[in-house]
Chain A
Amino acid sequence: MSNIKFSKEHEWIKVDDEIATIGITKHATEMLGDVVFVELPKKGSLVEKGGNVGVVESTKAASDVYTPISGEVVESNQSIIDDPSKINSDPENEGWFFKLKIRDKSEIDALMNKEEYDKFAKESSN
């Protein structure tokens, strides 16, 4: 699981060669509560690191979704649009949000590893 990185906006990113899969962390879903609506970036759109690319709404509130790296969207997860509860039940696997064709791999190096993120998440929720 060492190829998974994390952002301060509570996204996870899994790198497979040229393609990165991005979703929100379990910690993020616990803060959000039950997700009931999600809006994802369209296939083919170009997104910039830190840019707002979608929305995730829980029963409580709406939150923006950011992309931790730049690239071109090659796929978004239709199954979480149809059934957003997957984001709560399996956020770091079946509940992935979108896949990007990576533009600049160095952006990934700046992200946190699991240990660093867990520490960050624990501190930021206190």
Chain B
Amino acid sequence: MKTKKTPLYSLHKFHGAKFVQFAGYEMPIQYKTGIIEEHNLTRSKSGIFDVSHMGQLFIKGEKELTKDLEKIFPIDLLNLQINQSKYSFLMKDNGGIYDDLIITKLEDGFMIILNAACKDNDLRILNLKLGNKYDLKLSNDMSLIAIQGPDAINILEKLVPKISILKFMQGNKFKYHGKQLYITRSGYTGEDGFEVSIPNVIVEIFTKNLIELGSNLVGLGARDTLRLEAGLCLYGHDINEETSPIEANLKWAISKNRIDTEFLGSETIKKQIVEGVKKLRVGIKPESRVIARETTKIFDEQNNEIGKITSGTFGPSVQSSVAMGYVGNAFSKINTKIFLEVRGKKYPANICNLPFYKKSYVKGAINE
């Protein structure tokens, strides 16, 4: 299969991007600046992320569509206001996660942002579950740009006036160069920020404008350290078809008034809420600077294997090694001492609260 490129490919190249293959796309892992500096710029000023590889799915429909989507997703869509977004999952019947996603209610239906590696499978499953009743369109002519960090609001406001009225997890239509954008206040870094759905034909000039106003291109490398510090899951690593939202400690994302109703995976979820689960996703902080990467084995003090790391890196903002992983339920309490086997040696670590880095979202009235 030929690797795909986003419309910003040549701009990335111009800014000295090193590319990696990611979900069939050639994506920048870092620019000349380097991962740590790109991470720090996002936390102290602002960063621009090309996430155009992600799927932007549009489904048109009215109340019947809302009801049909509730049979799939475990969230209260009937009470979701127009332009509000919610985090959710597409689950298997056994509660395993096909994808995690963001659903936004639009005037004429829904927009769903999907992971790049999952989008084609998601579309297939959704068409199957919806019985081909609706028109599902995975957009090819829109790019997706995130601008994140404390300066994001002021920079974006200069290009697109009035975006500052948006609250966290809220979106709206805006105009730029005579074309329509859909902007939500959301992101994947633990910072205040925005995600901009923008026609391919104007994405390069838009991004150049952001750079001219003092923002910085940030690659997938820093995107990973930022989201991990913020305690956010990466699909395919921290969550996958073998983990349920309950095991992943994401029960908060299941609407309370939906727990006793039907959705994909609802039986398993109900059972797991009542009976508990065997493994849980936890935050893990090694006592030294040693980095515990994915698949690192976790041991208890008696040297029994109790779990595995799913993500690990060095957190530039917290200045320590950070990780997430799954451990047996009995070991999931905060401050439980564990050991991580790295290159044959066991390093002490502790179960800790997530996030590692405190979020600074602008909260609105829309949180549950």
Contact = CB atoms under 8 A, between A and B. Distances in A.
Interface of A: 33-34, 36-37, 39, 55, 57-60, 62, 81, 84-85, 88
Given A37-B289, A37-B291, A55 B343 contact: yes
Contacts of B225: 59
B291 A36 contact: yes
Interface of B: 29-30, 34-37, 221, 225, 289-291, 293, 313-314, 321, 343
B289 A59 contact: no
Nearest to B293: A62
B221 A59 contact: yes
Given A59-B221, A59-B313, A33 B34 contact: yes
A88 B316 CA distance: 15
Contacts, number: 40
Residue of A36, A58, A84 ringed by the most chain B CB atoms within 10 A = A36
Main secondary structure of the interface of B (DSSP, over half): mixed
B34 A34 contact: yes
Given A55-B343, A59-B221, A37 B34 contact: no
Given A59-B221, A59-B313, A60-B221, A36 B34 contact: no
A59 B223 CA distance: 12
12 contacts: A33-B34, A34-B34, A34-B36, A34-B37, A36-B291, A37-B321, A55-B343, A57-B314, A58-B35, A60-B35, A62-B293, A85-B36
A39 B36 CA distance: 20
B290 to A, nearest CB: 6
A36 B314 contact: yes
Contacts of B36: 34, 36, 59, 85
B291 A33 contact: no
Residue of A34, A58, A60, A84 ringed by the most chain B CB atoms within 10 A = A34
B222 to A, nearest CB: 8
Contacts of A81: 289
Contacts of A55: 343
Nearest to A85: B36
